[in-house]
Chains A and B, each alone.
Chain A
């Protein structure tokens, strides 16, 4: 641990954490540049930079600023939101399985989204319905799990139950829907970044701008609460209000991310676990989880577009494949 001090102020930083953060950021920049530059038309990197500042060749400007940049930016923001949301819930439940994609919150968003697709909703209505579904589901799980406060274990079990219920509701709707709606809904629930424009990226950016400071404020008490409620209360933390605030922030992050890109699985689960192992930090770390989530999603989207080109896969297929493989690799190495 390195300590920076200035008068009464002090900051505590882990050199490895900083190095890992910088490396993940560099990887994110590199992947973003590749995603902006390659594809059906190759745009050289200098033209990308020029286009982003609005004075590139017209063709480059169209491809980069209108088509590729919004997709990359949406991917980065959604990945970061999922990574943070997963980190918050894994910290609260002290369990990697306590991620929003396992305890029903993502399923709630899917159910809302599918219902909107089948009822012929617009893109905005689908996003709104999935956000509403996520929040409603979270309230339901919280209420059902509440007994003298919320214990992580109960939250997971109740969440898994609600998740199963919602998945069966999803399939019921999909089997009853007409074939076109079912196909649209089917591709939506895999999670996809294709065709995402600035109107998808901006709501996520606004949500992150509001929620990131809250995350920064929550991170220290959350870290203490990983040692148990009594240990946290003993050092002066108001456990239940902090927990309620953390759940609200985590649900909103997961909800806006799902509204923008659909219920992309596995990023929320894998990103905090990958980040923790890379940074070798005790417990869950929010910043590293956000960065890892962003890189994981953009990397997976790049792979989904390029690996089987010209066939374009939904990104959800790749997040599970890439994130899962890498996590298994890390876990194997840890055992030795």
Chain B
């Protein structure tokens, strides 16, 4: 496995989010981490992306402790789409996407032919080529997220981590971004995403990691692990599981309050 963490204790200052956590990302998978608020899913992703230094344990990339590798070298193998980034004033789409090439550049090699090709194909894959000369400030939320994704793609990393890539998007744009992720996965990348929506996670993930209170409660293919009992254990939600008529994956249908009130 190229990316895994062992014995991780993760904390922000004094607040410990997870202790002795082992997490493994299967190569070539589209892994989705899911769980209730404050379960540590984003924290775990941030640790895998070396944004957060574990207090104990270590994250390994290709057999080496990730922090022992040169940072730019890591950035050529593992990319991250952060939960929120700041759009520099007045930057164009092409410029922003080009910034993803940073780990491939040096002071005297600022814009190679490979950079040009990578940026063009990243914009092509995310369908933002037509917006190349537009200012990012003027774009809609969905377009903007595609541009950030294009920047991460331009980095040309075999592993790509996405921290809640669908937050702040309406449903149509959420599906658009997830379909795009599925395409990227099919082209051979390993993807790891934190998502909120359990049904979307079931539909797109090839490997699901379900967390609660800083522990992994279950992991595996959605169809084999997602049950009503699991959802109740993890989310405290009574539900019924049916087959998604579109994808055949598990579909969670929460029980209504009225039915929950009727005596058993």
Instruction: Please report A residues at the B interface, Cβ cutoff 8 Å.
Output: 1, 3, 5, 8-12, 94, 148, 216-217, 220, 223-224, 226-228, 230-231, 233-238, 276, 280-283
Asked if B95 and A235 make an inter-chain contact with CB atoms under 8 angstroms apart, the answer reads no
Asked if B88 and A282 make an inter-chain contact with CB atoms under 8 angstroms apart, the answer reads yes
Q: Knowing A12-B111, A94-B86, A227-B86 touch, does A235 contact B99 (C-beta < 8 A)? A: yes
Residue B82 is within 8 A (CB to CB) of chain A in the complex: yes
Q: Knowing A227-B86, A227-B99 touch, does A10 contact B75 (C-beta < 8 A)? A: no
Among B76, B88, B112, point to the contact of A227 (Cβ < 8 A): B88
Give complex CA distance A11, B90 in Å.
Answer: 22
- A238: min CB distance to chain B, Å: 6
Residue of A nearest to B69 (CB): A236
B residues less than 8 Å from A10 (CB atoms): 108-112
- B145: min CB distance to chain A, Å: 14
B residues less than 8 Å from A226 (CB atoms): 86, 88
Asked if B102 and A282 make an inter-chain contact with CB atoms under 8 angstroms apart, the answer reads no
* CB within 8 Å of A: which B108-122 residues: 108-113
Residue of A nearest to B136 (CB): A282
Residue B92 is within 8 A (CB to CB) of chain A in the complex: yes
A residues less than 8 Å from B113 (CB atoms): 5
Interface residues of B, count at CB 8 A: 42
Q: A1-B111, A236-B75, A280-B90 are in contact. List 11 more A-B contacts (CB 8 A).
A: A10-B110, A10-B112, A11-B108, A12-B111, A148-B12, A220-B102, A228-B86, A234-B49, A234-B79, A235-B155, A282-B91
Q: Knowing A235-B155, A236-B72 touch, does A230 contact B51 (C-beta < 8 A)? A: yes
Residue B103 is within 8 A (CB to CB) of chain A in the complex: yes
Residue B37 is within 8 A (CB to CB) of chain A in the complex: no
Give complex CA distance A315, B12 in Å.
Answer: 49
Q: Knowing A10-B112, A227-B85, A282-B89 touch, does A238 contact B71 (C-beta < 8 A)? A: yes
Could you list some 25 contacts between A and B, CB below 8 A?
A3-B111, A5-B111, A8-B109, A10-B109, A10-B111, A220-B105, A224-B99, A224-B102, A226-B86, A226-B88, A227-B99, A228-B82, A228-B84, A228-B86, A230-B82, A233-B50, A234-B51, A234-B75, A235-B75, A235-B102, A235-B155, A237-B71, A238-B71, A281-B90, A282-B88
- A197: min CB distance to chain B, Å: 37
Residue B165 is within 8 A (CB to CB) of chain A in the complex: no
B residues less than 8 Å from A217 (CB atoms): 107
Among A3, A9, A235, point to the contact of B103 (Cβ < 8 A): A235
Residue B236 is within 8 A (CB to CB) of chain A in the complex: no
Among B70, B100, B110, point to the contact of A11 (Cβ < 8 A): B110
Residue B13 is within 8 A (CB to CB) of chain A in the complex: yes
Give complex CA distance A220, B101 in Å.
Answer: 12
Among B81, B92, B110, point to the contact of A12 (Cβ < 8 A): B110
Give complex CA distance A182, B108 in Å.
Answer: 52
Asked if B91 and A230 make an inter-chain contact with CB atoms under 8 angstroms apart, the answer reads no
Q: Which 7 A-B pairs have the closest CB atoms?
A: A236-B75, A282-B91, A230-B82, A236-B72, A234-B80, A235-B102, A283-B88
- B101: min CB distance to chain A, Å: 8
Residue B74 is within 8 A (CB to CB) of chain A in the complex: yes
A residues less than 8 Å from B71 (CB atoms): 233, 236-238
Q: Which of B75, B86, B103 has the most CB of A within 10 A?
A: B86
Q: Which of A11, A230, A276, A281 has the most CB of B within 10 A?
A: A230
- B104: min CB distance to chain A, Å: 9
Asked if A231 and B82 make an inter-chain contact with CB atoms under 8 angstroms apart, the answer reads yes
* CB within 8 Å of A: which B38-80 residues: 46, 49-51, 70-76, 79-80
- A94: min CB distance to chain B, Å: 6
Asked if A220 and B107 make an inter-chain contact with CB atoms under 8 angstroms apart, the answer reads yes
A residues less than 8 Å from B88 (CB atoms): 223, 226-227, 282-283
- A62: min CB distance to chain B, Å: 45
Give complex CA distance A224, B85 in Å.
Answer: 11
Give complex CA distance A12, B74 in Å.
Answer: 25
Among A5, A238, A283, point to the contact of B89 (Cβ < 8 A): A283
- B134: min CB distance to chain A, Å: 13
Asked if A230 and B80 make an inter-chain contact with CB atoms under 8 angstroms apart, the answer reads yes
B residues less than 8 Å from A282 (CB atoms): 88-92, 95
